[in-house]
Amino acid sequence: MNAASSLHEYQRWKRWEPLFWLLALASPWYLSGHALLINEVAIVALFALSLDLVMGYAGVVSLGHAAFFGMGAYAAALFAKHINPDPVMGLFFGIAVSTVLGALASLSIMRGTSLTLLMVTMGVALILMELANKLDWLTGGADGLQGVIMGPVHVPFVGRFEFDLYGQVAAWYSLAVLFVFFLLSRRFVQSPLGGTLMALRDNRLRAMAIGIPVTARLALIYTIAAGVAGAAGALLAQTTSFASVEVFAFDRSADLVLLVVIGGAGWLYGGVIGAAIFKVLQDWISSITPQYWTFWIGLFLVVLMMVGRERVIRPWTWASRGKKK
């Protein structure tokens, strides 16, 4: 099989994928009582997708990814409060601001060891968190940015949809944005450019030896991932009409790494499935034992690592690997 045929086979949709997305996009309808949870899962899944782009496909581990998430959240909330309440315009504004921040922060990943990168990325998020706390005239400080009123979502040729208290419109809105970004990310990682990212992830020195501009590739994917994380943050601010300093918190970044590990790094569905498993378990266990739900989540993670994540996700990944004789 030549390279062109192999790439075409890699890009082809598997049989289960359309069904997966149809069920996901229809879930706010047949699980209307859990629309708020579905909306949260979609936002976290998009956030995890952004980290998977840099960690799974470029090999860059970040403990400060919440910086871009929080920047997107505050940008979208401030845009809605002071400029225009249109959700789509606010979403694009949040993406633009977080992308610029990602481009500036990408300078930090061009030098230093992996430990240095972890500390730098974490430091950026902590600095932004402190700025959001101090600039209370702009961000609301520790009380959060309040008074954010979102306008309806305009769907061409369909109509206008107001955000409701039950979360159905918010869930469909977030799922639609997740699906669009998943398609774009899939197209990117399955392109020849995405192939060079995986090459430098596996062996950076060899990638440099064959002429791949490693520094430029890392800066590019880091910037793109920052924009995707900003989109997730913007969705959170828009669907809750609120933004607080908590969006920059370290535990948000740490939980994100767990989600990608649960679902599998270097596989775009890993972040989506990991987010669904983690948030559903968190909601279910906390409803049973509000005081000790973190213990059971931790136990699940320990068992998952001991059993082997590959055994858990094998039914999903087997079809995508497509064994060839």
pLDDT digits (tens, 9 = 90+) for 85-137: 999 999 999 999 999 999 888 877 666 556 666 777 788 888 888 888 888 88
Model pLDDT, residue 113: 56
Instruction: Give the residues across from 154 on adjacent strands.
Output: 160
pLDDT of residue 321 exceeding 80: no
User: Rg for the chain (alpha carbons), in Å?
Assistant: 20
Model pLDDT, residue 232: 96
Model pLDDT, residue 93: 96
Model pLDDT, residue 143: 85
Residue 301: name the closest of 267, 268, 269, 263 by CA. Answer: 263
Model pLDDT, residue 22: 94
* Residue 133 tokens, joined: 């706390």
Model pLDDT, residue 112: 58
Mean pLDDT comparison of 90-104, 139-153, 196-210, 244-258, highest-scoring range: 90-104
pLDDT digits (tens, 9 = 90+) for 27-86: 999 998 899 999 999 999 999 999 999 888 888 888 888 999 999 999 999 999 999 999
Average pLDDT value over all residues in the chain = 83
d(CA 24, CA 187): 20
Extended beta strands in 43-194, E state:
153-155, 159-161
